[in-house]
Structure formats: structure tokens, C-alpha cells
Structure 1
Amino acid sequence: MFYHDDELQFEVTVEDPNPRFAKLLQQAIGGAEGEMRVALQYMFQAFAVPQEKQEIRQFLMETAVEELGHIEMLATAVSKNLQDASDEARREAGEDAIIDEMMRNGQPRQALSAGLHAMPVDANGNPFTGNYVVASGNLAADLYANVMAESTGRLLATRLYEFTDDPGMEEMLEYLIARDTMHQNQWHAALEALGEHRPVPNSFPQEKENQEYNYAFMSTYKDERDDPDQPWTQGEAPDGKGEFSYTPRQPGGGQPDLDEMIDEMYNEVN
């Protein structure tokens, strides 16, 4: 169950409206690095956590709901950047200043389909897709995915920060960047609290793996190369269960025999 309050999670102000920046902010809403992605990712991960791990379920769900608040903040910022034209634009375009600046610098669909408001799309106008969401049902795998999601989200926010000099937009992004810092650290802390979990999933018996290759870095160069003496070719593996090694070539396995499939699927060349 969710409850909504009209108050934003963090105040959003825009001093110098900029439709071009509104277009860029759309990436932080509906893009691969955006808030819709992490909100739904954490929510669907929480749905998969069993009731006996209620503290983990709540942990994920609280962060998911926080991300919903970030979507609301960003949507407000998009609207504020779209709905007021700058004084310069007004002088150039007269009575149609807002639409003129929108058509020149923004996404026309935001005027035509959304009445100068945010949309669930990225900066290129591509609709948000659930394919961005990682919710595997394995908590360790999901937490690693969350670290990546927060890392790319923070990277996006820092890049957006460099595209604006509006004090209100800088203040909003400073808040979002700070929250990304916290979320990265909380997922790392949760991974450490899990204890031994590598490789993921760690419940599969490793004695069933091919023991010759489960800790071998495999070179894919055509010509044989010497061991580059890197941390991933020698020494103990991070999971503490094996020693890295180097193999200069792939094992090889003959030619694919696809004649039967070609016949059945009528894929003959002639």
C-alpha cells in the first residue's frame, strides 16, 4: 500500500527555464539510467523476497518508494523548464514564445502529447521499457545490479549538472547525486552483510563445473600470447575458492553440425 503527500521530497525551483535542459532531464526519468528504472527494479526485487526476510523486503521497498519521489521531482523540473520561456525568447517570438522555444529546443511531443509536461520517455523520446529492470529473484545478483544502476544514475546526474547553471537545478541535482552516493553504499553494505555469496548463485555445487576453466582467464587472440601477469590471471580469486590462471587459447570443439536443422527449417541456400 502506498500513500502520497503533495509535498515534494525536495524543493524544485527553476530560475531560468530551459526547454533544452528539460529534454536532457527526460533521460533521468525514463532512460536506461533513470529513476523509473530503479524504482521498478527495487520494487520488483522486493516482491520476490520471502516474508521471513522482511527486513530485506522493507529495505528494498523503502528505497523503491524514495525513487518514486525522485520521478516526481524530475517531472516537476521538466514542467517548470517547459512552461515558462526566457525573457530573451519572449522578445524573439512575441506571443508564441513558449511554443517557439519548445519547438526549437525541446521535444515537440511534450507540447503536442503532454501539454508541456514530463513524459515516461528518455532524452530521445523513446518510451521507457521494463527491459531495463533487473529482478532475478537472487538477492546477491540483484544487489550487484543495483550497484551498477546507482553508479550509472549518479554518472548521469553529474553529467546533467555540467549542462546547467541554473541555481535551482544545481541544488536539485546535488540532492539526487547525494542520494545516489548513499544508495551505492547501502547496496555494498547489504552485499557484505550477506556473507559468502560468490560466485552467484553460490548454491550450485562448484564440483560440477569444468575444473580446468572455472578460474582461468582465456585469451581469444588468434596468435598465442604470454600471460600478461595481471590480477585476473594469477593469485587467489576474490571468492577465495580458487586460483586464477591463464590459458593462451580457447579449447576448440570442431565444426557445428547443423545439417538436420537446415533441412527441417527449409534453410537451404539453393
Structure 2
Amino acid sequence: MTVDYLDALTKAGQFEELWDMHVDWMAGFGFDRLIYGYTSFRTEGSLGDAEDFMILSNHDRSYLDRFLGEQLYFHGPMMRWTLNHNGACSWSWAREQARLNLLTPKEAEVMQINDSMGVSAGYTISFPTISSRTKGAIAMTARRGLTQEEVDAIWAEHGQMIELANNVAHLKILSLPYEYPSRALTQRQREVLEWVGDGKTIQDIAELIGRAPATVEKHLRLAREALNVQTTAQALLKASFLKQIYKPEI
């Protein structure tokens, strides 16, 4: 059964097909609500712009409006674990942190909100990454009525298989085309970023495009604003990832 499912995952050609398949398969183990998240723009103190996250979920809209819309996710106890670990973790970890008074006030508040909305037992998988700028994870909420002890018993029997399938699903998701929100740059903004990528200085670029250095700096500032980043280096990285530069002329 597992081999057949892994084979089906690797052959999925669209997000909708893969996600619907994975939601159904996970529900068979008692995890009936999932949130998958991935970012390529993580920094030391931030996960990047929320509009650039890749998010897949089958949670109720009322829950997502709070957890995502109010950015509660960033203060969830399991988020702290996720950002510092790889692998799978029982939500009993967060309960133990609460028992030991090791949660921040905001983390305790998020846990209380989750409990009130039926998100109280489950597991989280933090996927391995080779870049400090990327992070992916999936939070798997157990169906209502299951205790964490019962969920841990399910994991003891099937956890290795579940973790393997989620890792395969994660890698497959990353291989599929995904349309990030539009961050369109003008032709001139793309051009000056391309020159920055070639190692040119502001003065060099000004001479190359026949404009004053102040104009080059203006184009770079507008590019940073369009991409919602703070530095030109971040703009270059993000524009490259979103295929906004190094595009062939039509």
C-alpha cells in the first residue's frame, strides 16, 4: 500500500491532484487537517514576506483566517521547534513546554486559541534543507476526539511510513510549477539588477545605460520596494527566484 501511494505521489502532475491525494491518505491515519508551508526567503529574524509563502491546507476558512490571517503561526510553539529542528515532533512537546512554563506569553496564547478551535493534538514534520534561506514544514492535526496519547500511539506504529510519505510529498511539491504572487519589475529595474548581478557598481551601471547615478539608485530602490525587501542583494536573489530577471527578450 505504501509503495503504491509513493508511486502515485511521484506521478502527480498538478498541485490539486497531489494535495487531494495526500489529504485523503493522511486522514486514513487520523490526521484530517493539514497545513503545509514553504518559504525560500527566510532570513535570520524573519520567514520573509507572507505573500511569498507557499501554503496548502484543508483547514476550515475560519481557522485559517485566524492562524494565517492574524499571523499566529509565527508565534506557535511548534513553529519554534520547526525552525530549530528537522524531523517529526509530537505536539506533546509543546504541552511539556507549557507545563514547565517555558512558553512565551504569545506562544501560550496561540496554544489556547488552537485548543479552542479544535487544533489540540497532532504532529509536525520539519523538512531538511540545504539552504538557510529555505524552510518547509507540515502541521498535521488529528481529528477531533483523538487525544495526544492516542495520536502518539498511532505514530509509534505508523510514524516512519507517514514521515517518509510526507518527505516525498514535500519534494514532489517543490518540483511542480507554482505561481507566486506577481512582483512584476519594469524592464529598467530588471536591467539594473542584472548589472548588479554582473558585479557592476552604481557608476558603472549609470554609464552603461546612459543615466545619472541617482537615476540608477532610484530604479534599485523601486525594485526593492516592488519585491518588498530591504537590500539590493535580497532584491537580486528574490528577482532571480521569481524569474523576474535573466529573462530572454521576446
TM-score of the superposed pair, with normalisation by structure 1: 0.26
Larger radius of gyration between Structure 1 and Structure 2: 1
The structure whose residues are more often strand, as a share, is 2
TM-score of the superposed pair, with normalisation by structure 2: 0.28
